[in-house]
Chain A
Amino acid sequence: MPFRIVLSVKGGKGKLMHKENPYEEVIERSSGMVYRLAYSLVKTRVDADDIYQEVFMRYIKAGPVFDNEEHEKAWFVRVTVNCCKNYWKSPWIRRRAAFYEGYAGEKVCAPAGFGPVFGETGDIGSEEQLLIETVKELPEKYRVVIHLFYYEEMSVEEIGKITGMKASTVRTRLTRARKRLKEKLGGL
């Protein structure tokens, strides 16, 4: 599926001011957000590294000028989600999925990127580790809304606008995701 940027980018007055390297400031500001979102969607550091690099390659290629930080954040969220979707659609990933361990007792694959991968999140507490791994077990469409809502503190309407979903769809997914997490973690 061809990649499409739905947000328009244009120059003009009142844009964000840049230092000597206009890319550096933006990359610094968006770096963590892009990486964390990518990691929450593709689940492994190796794949998150690729997505992270791809997103900034696209940024450098497109060279958009943002109206404000909100516009900038929306652009990076949208492009990161799209890059992750492309990742899921790639033949390599699809073939890995088709032959994951145990399906017919013939091909056995170590499916990096599928299922929880422990020990990748660095030196954090076991509770946080458990939480991350539990969220990773959710389908991708739930992980997007969970991450944007809880980490990026975006509203349901904002998530809908950025991801191209109706607010009601976002709300439904958030509710279903919470329900699943509650069953596994309690609280919420």
Chain B
Amino acid sequence: MFAEQYKKAYDSIGPSPEKYKEVLINASEALDAAGAKTVNTAEKRKRFRAAGPAAVSAAALLCVFLALPVCAKNSPAFYRVVEFISPALADRLVPIEKSSSSQGITMEVEAIDLQGNEAQIIVSMCDEEGSTADRIHGPVDLFDSYNLFDYGSETTLGGCSFLAYDEETGKAYFKITTQTSGTYRKDKLHFSVREILCDKSSEEREIDLTGIRESVPTRMEALNGMGGMMEEDSLPPSLAMTYGTQEDPYCRSSVLDLRRADECAADDFTVTGAAYMDGVLRLQVCMGDNRHADRHVQPFVVDADGEEKYEDYSVSWQETVGDVSYQFYEYWFIGELDNPEDYSMYGIFHDSGECIEGQWEVIFRVA
């Protein structure tokens, strides 16, 4: 009964004809480009650190050539970024090419796509012309400090992803997605960035689970973040949360009561402890003061067969000591680990280098 209903329900779900056609076009163009691939691939790979395959790039480029010849015609820089985005988005982007400089760094709004209350913006950052500081020379992060404002909306939410660093032009490209409370007005838009993080790095480290403790004191902590693959109401009783009220808006949950903030490094990671309690493997890490950094960890365990398991849920909170605000994370691996000592634990530790504060802003309109 359920199987029939499930099949019936999902039979109605499928890609739109446009999306399907788009994929076929990509495939077809990739075939056409295959002959030219050997000529250009080596050069492209050298130029772009994050460049995709030449065939896909060529397909994306051809799609844009075919679908958007008018607005992209006079914008060679525009073509440099379409390799890293979906052809569907490339079709809709309108070149802007307005720039602003601050702290020896130039930000340029390369192109934008406005659809109702959602915007996708392609932005680049590079050293200001004539600057010898060499601050932008690889992946950078806008550190959630960007904003697209149309002088009419009340709230804006967004996300940012790094696209690529182009060694030839020294530009780092980003795609920013923002959403506002109402439909964006196209006649006057203001885009700004306040902070950027340079010299990001990541390193994989093993975390020793030998002799992991099964009984560790815990305390309730006010959280400033939580999330994961598991729904909150599915968490085991030992991890159950208390939800915020009007008087006390913070959710609280049980965390390991191990090292306190003043025992941790302010500018580095500190693994403050791990425990296996009530069938849950818990790992706690202090990121130090993260207000001007973006230290974060992706922990995972590997069993004897090499199968990787990621945390089911994580919570975060802050502890302040003097002027330093320490950010803590606790990662929970729930169930299915019969004996944690049979597993190896690793973490990918992502660190960030210099944080540069500035005022990059441009005002533009979308034709």
Interface size on B, residues (CB 8 A): 62
Contacts of A147 in B (CB 8 A): 10
Q: Among B13, B53, B157, B244, which residue has its beta carbon within 8 angstroms of that of A61?
A: B53
- Are B7's CB and A151's CB within 8 A? yes
Q: Would B13 and A56 count as touching, CB distance under 8 A?
A: no
**Which residues of chain A (82-101) have a CB below 8 Å from chain B?**
85, 88-100
Contact assessment for A90 and B161 in the assembled complex, using a CB-CB cutoff below 8 Å = yes
> Contacts A1-B298, A1-B348, A128-B9 given: A105-B225 contact, CB under 8 Å?
no
Q: Shortest CB–CB separation between residue B308 and chain A, in angstroms?
A: 8
Question: Closest residue to A62 on the B side, CB-wise?
Answer: B53
Contact call A92/B177, Cβ cutoff below 8 A: yes
A61 touches B52 (CB 8 A): yes
Report the nearest B residue to A180, measured CB to CB: B234
* Interface set, chain A 38-52, CB cutoff 8 A to B: 39-40, 49-50, 52
Tell yes or no: A70 within 8 A of B by CB.
no
Q: Are B13 and A31 in contact (CB under 8 A)?
A: no
Residue of chain B at shortest CB distance from A61: B53
Are B19 and A61 in touch, CB under 8 angstroms?
no
Select which of A97, A132, A137 is within 8 A of B10 by beta carbon: A132
| Contact A21:B229 (CB < 8 A) given known A61-B55, A122-B13, A150-B6 | no
Chain A residues 53 to 98 lying within 8 A of chain B, measured CB to CB, are 53, 56-57, 60-61, 85, 88-98
Cβ-closest chain A residue relative to B54? A61
Nearest residue, chain B, Cβ from A146 = B6
By the criterion CB–CB under 8 Å, are A122 and B12 in contact?
yes
Taking the complex as formed, is A185 at the interface, i.e. its CB lies under 8 A from any CB of chain B? yes
CA separation between A50 and B159, bound complex, in Å? 16
Q: B231 contacts which chain A residues (CB < 8 A)?
A: 137-139
CB distance from B285 to the nearest CB of A (A): 15
- A171 lies within 8 A of chain B by Cβ: no
B69 to chain A, nearest CB (A): 22
Q: Are B250 and A104 in contact (CB under 8 A)?
A: yes
A135–B6 CB distance below 8 A: yes
A27 to B27, Cβ gap below 8 A? yes
A52 touching B19 in the complex, CB below 8 Å, given contacts A39-B13, A60-B26: yes
Kindly state the separation between the CA atoms of A142 and B86 in the bound complex, as whole angstroms.
Answer: 30
> B144 on the interface (CB 8 Å rule)?
yes
Q: Please tell me if B160 contacts chain A, counting CB pairs below 8 Å.
A: yes
Report if B40 contacts A (CB, 8 A): no
* Chain B residue nearest in CB terms to A55: B23
- Do A97 and B228 touch (CB < 8 A)? yes
Q: How far is the CB of B146 from chain A (nearest CB, A)?
A: 13
Interface status of B1 (Cβ within 8 A of chain A)? yes
Closest to A105 in B: B249
* Complex: A165 Cα to B316 Cα, angstroms: 29
Chain A residues, CB < 8 A from B12:
121-124, 128
Contact of B307 with A by CB under 8 A: yes
Within 8 Å by CB of A56, from B27, B144, B316, lies B27
Determine the distance from Cα of A54 to Cα of B307 in the docked complex, in whole angstroms. Answer: 24
15 other A-B residue contacts (CB within 8 Å) besides A31-B20, A105-B244: A23-B31, A49-B15, A50-B86, A52-B15, A60-B59, A89-B298, A91-B161, A92-B159, A103-B244, A124-B9, A131-B9, A141-B229, A150-B2, A151-B6, A151-B7
21 inter-chain pairs at a CB distance below 8 angstroms, sorted by A residue, are A21-B31, A23-B24, A36-B10, A39-B13, A49-B88, A60-B59, A102-B244, A105-B244, A107-B157, A110-B179, A123-B12, A124-B9, A128-B12, A129-B9, A135-B6, A139-B312, A150-B3, A150-B7, A164-B307, A165-B307, A169-B336
* Pairs A-B, 10 closest by C-beta atoms: A97-B227, A92-B159, A23-B27, A128-B9, A105-B249, A98-B225, A150-B6, A61-B53, A35-B15, A56-B23
